[in-house]
Amino acid sequence: STTTTTTTTEPTLPSDAVSLLSFKSNADLNNKLLYFLNEPYDYCTWQGVKCSQNNVIHFILQNLFLNGTFSPNSLTRLTHLRVLSLRNNSLFGPIPDLSSLYKLRILLLDHNHFSGSIPVQLNLLNRVVSIRLDFNSLNGSVPVINVPGLKIFNVSENRLTGPVPFTPTLSRFDATSFSGNPGLCGEIVHKACDSRSGFFNGDGDSSNGDGSGSGSSSSAAPLESQQSQGIVVVNSAPAKKKRGAKTNGLVLGCSVVIAILVASVVVAVVLVNKKKRSFLRKEEREKAIVEEEAVSETVNGNGNDVVEVEAVTKMRSGRLVFCCGEVQEYTLEQLMRASAEVLGRGSVGTTYKAVVESKLIMTVKRFDGGKTAATSGEDFEKQMEIVGMLRHPNLVPVRAYFQAKGERLVIFDYQPNGSLFNLVHGSRSARAKPLHWTSCLKIAEDVAHGLAYIHQASSLIHGNLKSSNVLLGVDFEACITDYGLSLFADSSLTEEDPNSTAYKAPETRKSSGRASAKSDVYSFGVLLLELLTGKHPSKHPFLMPADLQDWVRAMRDDDGSEDNWLEMLTEVASICSATSPEQRPAMWQVLKMIQGIKESVAMEDDTENRLS
Ligand SMILES: Nc1ncnc2c1ncn2[C@@H]1O[C@H](COP(=O)(O)OP(=O)(O)OP(=O)(O)O)[C@@H](O)[C@H]1O
């Protein structure tokens, strides 16, 4: 056979093939890459390789456990290379000088074991838009990098030390690009390089009077960039030369004014950022965008190979799936760029109010990868398909979902009037009366309706019914959210909040206990008591039915006028929260009971009206 895995460099071989084989011989010690040289030399079909006119333009080998080194004189000879990604492997040793790759736009070497220093020649890659070197073991200092088009730069989680050069390029990135390197200092990472002065400690350094800002003495960056780019910098380094010369009253006065202005701008920037932050951290948002760029690179390099582009998009960026045949109103990229505000952090992730393209408002639940890792991608998709099909006036609809490696998002409608939790406990003082009985009845009916629908329309259960998962719609109708998502939570990893635990049926509190339709009924009973009494479930006493009636009446300060309906609703709550699941009614029966109470109240009103 002519098939060979030889790594010898025969002069007749195409030089790109030689470079690839040379890379493989050092980087792939476990021989995972099946690179065989057959005539005609077909290296453009090798794993991870994409060519344009027989020149390698993309080399993408991700998540392959490649275990070896990145030798100089291997890929560095691929002078047409535009995308180089070796992320998420086990490559070790130094990163070679890549300056010969002058066409390189995307360099992703993150999540490996690279050591040694960051090659200073990165600064010569003047077409590069993305450099990711995070999660390696790189040491030494951050080199001066001034590449105007650089959009993504991340060297976090390494062992870098010393001042971060304050160049016009690097100053565009925030501390997250450098985090996880305790030895780094300077303005960008908000850490003084001189141990004598604090960064934001107001010790007077900010008013040292010389107006210079760089704590990174090694930086060759022009200082005017700090002002011209509108970056407010509080100096961390003590003024050495000019301090003595500028101590007159006028300068001190100016310094105070400047300090006040600086503080106001910092506060304003912090406030704006708080409101406008994307639900993805900057680096993650940019990662998604870069991956899209990599995809568009694929298009450029390969004409109109749409099918392949779709496959790449699915694989790398994940897929935004719109449920129930919804119209696709926005793209993944638009979603990733949405401005977002944290609504709260729950047991399995964080929930955001996101605004896409300044007009579409939605709620995005972003799962914490670690806490839902036990659910496979396939199971997630299956469950989301069922959940996404449900439509009912008392359910917050799931519009879309997304998953990619380590990232899961579920997109709901945004409910403008907050949650039942806020309505019951929110701004009301501790001594405020519980909700009016008509509201209690209406909310109880809405929630029972939604829950009965979930149980009947599908094989789903809610699994996490509680007042923060009941939201109020535009007409203050109660809508259940987060149904069917509890399945993804790994209970051994989620912290138990006493308020949440109190909703859980006794049979589900054991580690082997599984949620069921009957455990949802129990949660509904607890929620009903919360509604009636205004008390957090963790404060509900365990009482026999007769005593429960007395307690509810006492909590409502009832003078007897609410007697009838209150007694009936408390009765419903009591049977729903029976200790034994068999004794609890089904949800449709609970709904019927509540509707019965409503009708009897209406009849009573009617009779009273006629008599009066
Ligand atoms: N669609 C929505 N519209 C408006 N607010 C929402 C929406 N979904 C959730 N919220 C609010 O966002 C906050 C956080 O919700 P999240 O579901 O993350 O946590 P939780 O409900 O407290 O706990 P869990 O994760 O156990 O459900 C809650 O106050 C919730 O009421």
Does residue 302 have a pLDDT over 80? no
Q: What is the pLDDT of residues 481-496, one digit of tens each?
A: 999 998 888 766 556 6
Distance 406 CA to ligand 1 centre (A): 21
Residue 367 in contact with ligand 1 by CB distance below 6 A:
no
Q: Which two tokens stand for residue 90?
A: 């086990």
> What are the distances in angstroms from CA 539 to CA 247, 473, 494, 495, 553?
62, 28, 22, 19, 16
Residue 414 in contact with ligand 1 by CB distance below 6 A:
yes
Residue 375 in contact with ligand 1 by CB distance below 6 A:
no
Does residue 593 have a pLDDT over 90? yes
Q: Are 179 and 159 in contact (CB under 8 A)?
A: no
Residue 130 in contact with ligand 1 by CB distance below 6 A:
no
Q: Are 298 and 50 in contact (CB under 8 A)?
A: yes
Atom of ligand 1 lying closest to residue 349 CA? 18
Q: What is the 3-state secondary structure (H, E, C) of 129-174?
A: CEEECCCCEEECCCCCCCCCCCCEEECCCCCCEEECCCCCCHHHCC
- pLDDT recorded at residue 148: 82
Residue 464 in contact with ligand 1 by CB distance below 6 A:
yes
Q: How far apart are CA 67 and CA 137, in angstroms?
A: 15
- What's the distance, CA 331 to chain centroid? 17
* Between 516 and 36, residue with greater pLDDT: 516
Q: What is the pLDDT of residues 55-64, one digit of tens each?
A: 999 999 988 8
Distance 50 CA to ligand 1 centre (A): 44
Distance 479 CA to ligand 1 centre (A): 12
Backbone φ and ψ of 242, nearest 5°: -100, 0
Backbone φ and ψ of 152, nearest 5°: -130, 130
**Mutational pocket test of ligand 1: of 365, 467, 468, the residue with most ligand atoms within 8 Å of the beta carbon:** 468
Distance 350 CA to ligand 1 centre (A): 8
- pLDDT recorded at residue 249: 40
- pLDDT recorded at residue 517: 95
- pLDDT recorded at residue 277: 54
Q: Given the cut 0.95, state whether the ipTM is greater than it.
A: yes
Percent above pLDDT 90 for the chain = 39
Q: What is the 3-state secondary structure (H, E, C) of 68-116?
A: CECCCCCHHHCCCCCEEECCCCCCEECCCCCCCCCCCCEEECCCCEEEE
* Between 198 and 117, residue with greater pLDDT: 117
- pLDDT recorded at residue 101: 93
**Mutational pocket test of ligand 1: of 348, 368, 419, the residue with most ligand atoms within 8 Å of the beta carbon:** 419
Atom of ligand 1 lying closest to residue 343 CA? 12
Backbone φ and ψ of 538, nearest 5°: -65, -15
Atom of ligand 1 lying closest to residue 471 CA? 31
The amino acid at residue 387 is V
pTM as predicted: 0.55
- pLDDT recorded at residue 229: 29
Per-residue pLDDT band for 584 (boundaries 50, 70, 90) equals very high
Does residue 258 have a pLDDT over 80? no
Does residue 344 have a pLDDT over 70? yes
Mean pLDDT of the chain: 77
Q: What is the pLDDT of residues 307-339, one digit of tens each?
A: 232 333 333 446 788 887 777 888 888 888 888
- pLDDT recorded at residue 272: 42
* Between 45 and 158, residue with greater pLDDT: 158
- pLDDT recorded at residue 499: 73
Residue 412 in contact with ligand 1 by CB distance below 6 A:
yes
DSSP state of 69: B
